[in-house]
Structure 1
């Protein structure tokens, strides 16, 4: 394709070497220009903060309803029914988002906070007593799984499928490569269980899932839409938070001076989690599709073009952040795109933020030092920067 003045790069962001260490490649993407053409994929891309945030905000031009992955839903069949939130544009998006916002409210989270705080404190106390442990299965996976399924009102049996299901969903936003095939292998049971778990008769009363069906009873949506919105909770409610907490623990272990700041001021816990989302963004990329011809920083992008937005690169853009590659918990990270931006900003961000804050507070109160006892291991995913193992040692205060 003739891309005119737009730089053409021979970079495949879904290559396994790129997925294993994306930050090694982001500077080349940013420095090539505000808009680049990725030859291996045949798509446009943006990796600088200003252009990424602006595209996320401009949902009318950079639409989501044609898919936030590589596939264009106007040209090919989606691998599953599209999300009514992530893969929808107004007015449908606004209607379903308003229903969800009434359920996922600050008032609801304030009511849940004391019980969640007690569980966070108890979990950290248990782990500190062990000394050495793997912070992925025993902390970053364990804590969300202690609270999220009950919050939604999921059946007790089969909850372990949630993390596998999220892996499948986020892998599917990329190409059908080896990461996708191996990530999906043997996970058919997870897909079947989620479909079953989202049905009204399998949800517990009092949970957020049942609240969506009660909205359908009031005529705010259809029962089918309620089921799809429950699925949206399950798609993005666990794995993103799992890796967000994992990255915070990795950051604090790798930057002992920052952990000491947190110990001295527990109120920095929320900032520590926010900075970890900026420093090592769980969701690395999302696609948009141009709904019309548009111009970005003097570059023309035709209607119907797939545009890959590098959220993690934007969050380390030195044009926006001082010492962008450094983790500093007292940094003002307002406006980061770790949860996206604009109307499609992550619905569960308040839940994730509360979980991260509570774990950060528990660590600050009970732990004097965090040390890595081995190399962190990555779990390759087409969209997520995921941790597979994080061996650490913690000492009690």
Structure 2
């Protein structure tokens, strides 16, 4: 028996136990057969659909929309049940302790039926919150675009670029899109920022170049007077598809790179470009993907050939782990790095300026927003599109606008 099958069996056993345990809470608060059979029926349909999609979708197709929705609906029912299980398990522990105390103190076992019903109702009520949130995330949250604005000051910024505005977008993932009107709204929102430069930090597709065919006419509307530049992300290489031949993969990769000029972006493949204004210049440096545990085609040295250490540099690098492990301490001094990749896991809790949390932070030290170390900055864009889970919960799709100022470092 293969490891994959063993893992599937173990996972199925865990889910079965969890489902039985969660169902006990429902039985405690209702005797309705309709409610109970509906609960079981919906769960069975979600799991059956996921299994069907997994076993009927050839690897050569990559991650399909059917797979995304199958995963999305599974998470929509599993995460609320996880909350339910945690609360009920905690109640069981407390109930056992209280029974033991009652036995040793009075010699009698007390009944805690009323307490059990109350906790079950409370647990079901709390579980309904993530359930509703995930449904919203799939229906509307994935298009809930937010514009986040930052102003960054640098002493070494050339005077001519004082007030330069940059719009950063990342992780388009065009293969996941279904609603052209919503995507058009997002593109119009980007243009409304009227930034001098637009910079795209990778993952234009999920896997295949033809995913972008429907969307070229929309994204080529993006406009910036001083230029549009882009880099590749890990998904752009086609590494997550079981290609029939290596030639197919090579041809797809070429087609992915060809998308960028079609929508008016200059793709930087371990190279750089100067932007000049009033006799002064700054460098836009673009590396191919470099990520810890992912494709590491990025070559920072090659990408920086022809520019000087004292030049002001904006580095485009898809994966923020590149900044953490290679860039932030580099003596060549990359003043500002722009990344994406994490999506903030497309789920979490965020109160702007006060609190943010996502499971993504346990994988990436820089996972969403602006960070500074050694006098150098990185902005991790939460992504324009979505992938794997067909929605967003609490971590919304992002358009970043950064204004550069000449002056002392931000307080």
TM-score normalised by structure 2 residue count: 0.23
Relative contact order, higher structure (CA 8 A, sep 6+): 1
The TM-score, its normalising length taken from structure 1, stands at 0.24
